[in-house]
Amino acid sequence: MTEASYLGSGPGLVRHHHLKRRRPHYLHLMLICLFLSCIPLLSFSCRLVFRLADDSDRSVLVKYGCVTITRIMNNAGSAEESPGKIYHVCQRNSSHISSKHIVALSKTDYRIREVFFDAKSVRSTRLTFNDPEYVHQSIYSGGPDDGEGETGYSHNLYKLWERGIIGSGVVVAVVDDGVDRYHDDLKDNYDPVASYNFVRDTDDPNTVTEVHGTKCIGLISSVANNGICGVGAAFGAKFGAIRILSSEVAEIFDSIEAQAFRFQPNYISIYSMSWGPVDDGKKVARPHALASAALEEGARHGRNGRGSIYVWSSGNGGRNFDFCGLDGYLQRYEVFVVGSTTREGEMPSYAERCTAVIACSLSNSDGLPESKIFTTLPPSQCAKNHTGTSVSAPIVSAILALLLQVRDDLDRRDIQDLLIRTSLQIDKYPIVNSAGLKYSLNFGYGLVQADKLVEAATSNDFKPLPQLRICRTPIFEDGQHIHNGGQIHSSIYSSGCLRQPSVLDTVEVVILTLTLESTSRGGSTVSLISPDGTEVPILEPRLLDTSDEGLDAWDIKVMTYYGEKAYGLWRLKIDVSKGVNAKLVRWGLRVYGSQYSNDATHHYEAVKEIMCDDKVYERDPDIRSWCAGTYKKEVRSSDPSVDNLSFKDSKFVFGQNLMPLNVNYVGIALVSIFGIFSVIIIIYAYFRFGISRPFTSYRLIKN
């Protein structure tokens, strides 16, 4: 076919020309059909509310695309329906005019007095429990309690439960005297893998004769909505029971405690302890070597490297004037110590206070049976009979289980930081440290707030803490002593391990190691003052403790200085009661914290300003050479965590700040009178007998 015959002429040309032009029309038609098919998807579907001048005008709403119209009275329930008082809800599904245009058009329609969008809100189904005794568990969320009024404070657990945060996937072990594991309200949450009976050396911790462990576990893991008893604070968590206590055995082996603290460390997340040495106001006890090592190992490597969580109640010796600073288990760095408060924010008389407490939970009030805490009881019973700080460790453990459900990646230091920064301080007169944090020996950093804890942990602003560093001073000999009461002052300077691998500038926890001799151990108040000037009593008098054994290398944990500067002068002050003799033998510090600042020069200059004071460096040749820039002795200790530049401040110890010993002026007066009288007698005898006759030597006189 030639080009001429293909293109043709006359009609042929037109015919071929039209064929070429039709293809775009077909395409347009296809697009138009596709658009028309999508119009229903583009319709403006919504709900509008109209208020008409007259109810009989409701037919006008069809004009505005209303498919269904629902009549709602503004004065619902009244006998009369006044004109203009009735609303009509218009459901628009098919109109292609936007609702905003309809609102604008309706303003010109005299038959319509008002039109607005039907508001939408997000609502969740109200969480309810069919557990009959839940109404008595106002400790959880601050509801009414037996009609006796409303709780002043709460843990706000309900806010997390409504979001489905119930402890799912978390295992909490209660180290105690066993459990009634067949209890109807506990058996479904019992985890045999997390349980052991070290009393009988079996896999089964079951008991119905011991009750304490079952009470504690009920607060954590009582099953919800089974129509039995109440609910646990973390009713979605599984629990283990590690039995080491028994009424039949008065003493526990160190090795048993150690095994309990390290039982299934990568399976169990939280260990809850509501026991300790006798709270008689006289006892001083601490964990032995194996148990101490187990706690340290667990906190460092447990929970797959994130650190096992150990929660311990502060003790019930308040009525015996006990002070939890002399419970050695609570002084361990690895332990979270929790106290108790009443629902009105008061410290119960049974509770103990000390600087180891990090936070508190609600528990019962003094002398009020109705304030006792509802929980499980063997065999398969439940009752409102749990009391004391034994309530606090389970409650806080349960709250931490809720936290770990949403943030299982947190390590124990991050959890500690969150507890400190989100708890609600309820003490009216807290100690405010230089970092602006409020601390109380009664309540730590305050009442644990479950909702705030989770909110902070899941916030975009949350940042994990820097690497943990530990800076130690040597244990310095002192030797000051006091007679019949008075004060002893001493101080240690720390550079914060400047220019060492363990250098730090910010405090998390301080542990002071003290050796103190005393004729009455409970007769002294020991205070520590930080480089930033925050003073806190780390030991308080115990009226019943008259032992003359003193304290030997006793560790005292201090949570008060969180966020403060780590380097500078740490001052120790000991107030000795009248009638008591005391001797400060030696002391030293361990500071746990972090290096937040990258400005090493600032740290160096701050240290140099203190160390190179004339009154300081003149007394120490090593410090003098360091200040002169000729210091060559880089290591005083083989331990890299020991501060090579720390020293006991001799100017403070032996200078003007040392308080003089108390003087017995009556004794001195009596001795003086006796001395004067003796001199008078001697003088009288000399003149009376020495002058009237010759002075003769005594010798044998021969006839």
Catalytic residue list: 176, 212, 390
DSSP secondary-structure letter at 523? G
Phi (first) and psi of residue 395, to 5 degrees: -65, -45
DSSP, residue by residue, 541-590: --TT---S--EEEEEEEE-TTTTSB-SEEEEEEEEEPTT--EEEEEEEEE
CA 304 from centre of chain: 22
C-alpha distances in Å from residue 358, one per residue of 140, 423, 433, 552: 20, 9, 14, 25
Give percent helix, percent strand, percent coil of the chain, each to the nearest 5: 30, 25, 45
d(CA 111, CA 52): 6
Tokens (6 digits) for 182: 């067949």
H-helix or E-strand containing 524?
A: strand 524-529
Q: Is 78 exposed, middle or buried (0-12, 13-18, 19+ CB in 10 A)?
A: exposed
H-helix or E-strand containing 359?
A: strand 357-362
Q: Is 302 exposed, middle or buried (0-12, 13-18, 19+ CB in 10 A)?
A: buried
C-alpha distances in Å from residue 327, one per residue of 312, 331, 338, 453, 547: 11, 7, 13, 28, 16
Place of tokens 């975009």: 460
Strands (DSSP E) along 94-133, which ranges?
112-117
C-alpha distances in Å from residue 342, one per residue of 139, 166, 362, 389, 426: 10, 24, 6, 11, 11
CA-nearest of 236, 243, 180 to 383 is: 180
d(CA 612, CA 279): 47
Contact 590, 469 (CB under 8 A): no
d(CA 349, CA 364): 10
H-helix or E-strand containing 383?
A: strand 381-386
d(CA 442, CA 517): 27
Contact 313, 393 (CB under 8 A): yes
CA-nearest of 233, 640, 184 to 405 is: 233
Reduced to 3 states, what is the DSSP secondary structure of residue 150? Answer: strand
Residues in the chain, how many? 703
Q: Is 426 exposed, middle or buried (0-12, 13-18, 19+ CB in 10 A)?
A: buried
- Counting Cα atoms < 13 Å in the Cβ hemisphere of 378 gives 18
| Amino acid at position 614, single letter | D
Contact 482, 662 (CB under 8 A): yes
